[in-house]
Amino acid sequence: MSRSTADSASAVTLPTPKERRRLREALALSEEQVAEAMGVTKATVRAWETGRSTPRGRKREAYAKLLGTDGPEGSDERSPAPPQAQGQSQAQAQAQAQGQSQAPSHAQTYPHPHAQTPSFLKPPARVQAAESAGVRPKATAKRAGRPPKAPSPAPAITSGPARKGAPKPQERLKPVPADAAAPTPAPAPAPAPAPSEAPSLTPEQAFDALYAHAAPGLVHQTYLLTGRRRLSREAVEYAFQHAWRHWPEVAVDPDPVGWVRATAYEYALSPWHRLRRAHKHPDAPPTEANRRALLSALLELPPPYRRTVLLYDGLGLDLPETAAETEASTPAAANRLLHARTVLGRRIPELAEPEVLHRRLGALVSEAPTATLPAARTVRTGSDRLIRTWTRAVLGVTAVLIGVTGFTAATAPTRYIPVNAPGETVNGVPVRGGPQKLRPEDVELREKLRSQPNPGPERLLPAAE
């Protein structure tokens, strides 16, 4: 691959992994079809859509063209304007700058970055819009199934006539006095004050902000999934310890709360907790009748269906995002959602309508959590302590194996030494069969026969006549 080709391929910007999956499903393409078109395996395409890997080189450019996002980063696809148009645009910009300098200042005073929620902790824009409107983002889900439209290029401004026909002769310009011809110099706009750079957060501060923002709500959500308060706190603590161990990956993730939520849900719904005596049975249900009935109906659903309906109707995620977080295809997630709604509507008739179920689950999820959690520093130190313990254990086991191997190699014989077993008396052997033991008379007769063989009768010879 040449240098120019590699540079152009590396300049291609790919959407996020969730957006890649959404674009593929919007184009009605399966993973097998994309893999066949790209010349890779189905597992590679799945890794591209889950974010475990990213295509490079020519495959990156081809994958971007397949999804319809092949515009390079920072490139301007509009046709360049001629110098006359550029001069007009510059004049307009100067006029606007002059007008702004003359207009009264309406600059806002922004608070300190630590006083507001960091940008990486905010939910996606679609969820924010749905929450602000107070309705289910149906239109957003419908638009998610459509392919994105390419930006329309700006029309190029040409110096020729715009209409058909013979061009009109140019009018002769009248002479202008020298005073009127010289334009008055516009006052130079005042330089805008440079915004103060926000201090960057350290990894510890960013983790503490993420923990304070998401941990209480995740404990409440995990309790709705399992019905066990102690298990929910344990799952959230484990998820944040796991996130701290993989903080370089979590820090650059577009949805760090979703990363931690998926880890907590996976740990809480693990079937191995049934073998533990502390988590074998759920806790006592709440005293309120409506909450008790809804929680009991949720716990009767299978774990994948319970997780799907909580993400979609409780947290307000879109169907592709719900499918991606549950590691299922979009049709499978839709079938799980329909089945869960049917079961819940059968148990609680007033929840048969999806809007009522969405409102009830949303209210249940948005309740103020009452669980007490350890401090963020305690979670970080616990994760570091666990890493040190496992590291020391691995190093100790490795050292023991090396020592045993060295001792065996030093003391093992270099040649084979045969083992001579001493003779032993064996009892219980049966009597040997065959002829009986000879008596002395028999032995004497045998010796006599061997020493004096009997030649037999003499041979008869014919007599010659």
pLDDT (0 to 100) of residue 351: 87
pLDDT (0 to 100) of residue 245: 92
pLDDT (0 to 100) of residue 11: 65
pLDDT (0 to 100) of residue 115: 38
pLDDT (0 to 100) of residue 431: 73
**Domain annotation for the chain: domains and CATH numbers:** 17-67 (1.10.260), 203-366 (1.20.140.160)
Asked if residue 59 lies in contact with residue 40, where contact means CB atoms within 8 angstroms, the answer is: yes
State the Cα–Cα distance between residues 359 and 349, nearest whole angstrom: 15
- What are the backbone angles phi and psi of residue 98, rounded to the nearest 5°? -65, -45
56 Cβ partners below 8 Å, 6+ apart?
9, 10
pLDDT (0 to 100) of residue 52: 79
pLDDT (0 to 100) of residue 456: 67
Q: Which three-class secondary structure string do you get for the chain?
A: CCHHHHHHHHCECCCCHHHHHHHHHHCCCCHHHHHHHHCCCHHHHHHHHHCCCCCCCHHHHHHHHHHCCCCECCCCCCCCCCHHHHHHHHHHHHHHHHHHHHCCCCCCCCCCHHHCCCHHHCCCHHHHHHHHHCCCCHHHHHHHCCCCCCCCCCCCCCCCCCCCCCCCCCCCCCCCCHHHHCCCCCCCCCCCCCCCCCCCCCHHHHHHHHHHHHHHHHHHHHHHHHCCHHHHHHHHHHHHHHHHHCHHHHHCCCCHHHHHHHHHHHHHCCHHHHHCCCCCCCCCCCCCHHHHHHHHHHHCCCHHHHHHHHHHHHCCCCHHHHHHHCCCCHHHHHHHHHHHHHHHHHHCHHHCCHHHHHHHHHHHHCCCCCCCCCCHHHHHHHHHHHHHHHHHHHHHHHHHHHHHHHHHHHHCCCCCCCCCCCCCCCCCCCCCCCCCCCCHHHHHHHHHHHHCCCCCCCCCCCCCC
With a threshold of 0.85, does the pTM exceed it? no
pLDDT (0 to 100) of residue 365: 86
Mean pLDDT by 10 residues, the chain (465 residues): 49 84 88 89 87 84 85 42 44 45 36 42 46 40 42 38 41 44 49 51 91 91 89 93 92 91 92 80 80 88 92 90 90 93 91 88 82 88 92 96 94 85 81 79 88 71 73
State the Cα–Cα distance between residues 380 and 207, nearest whole angstrom: 9
State the Cα–Cα distance between residues 307 and 298, nearest whole angstrom: 9
300 Cβ partners below 8 Å, 6+ apart?
343, 347
pLDDT (0 to 100) of residue 193: 46
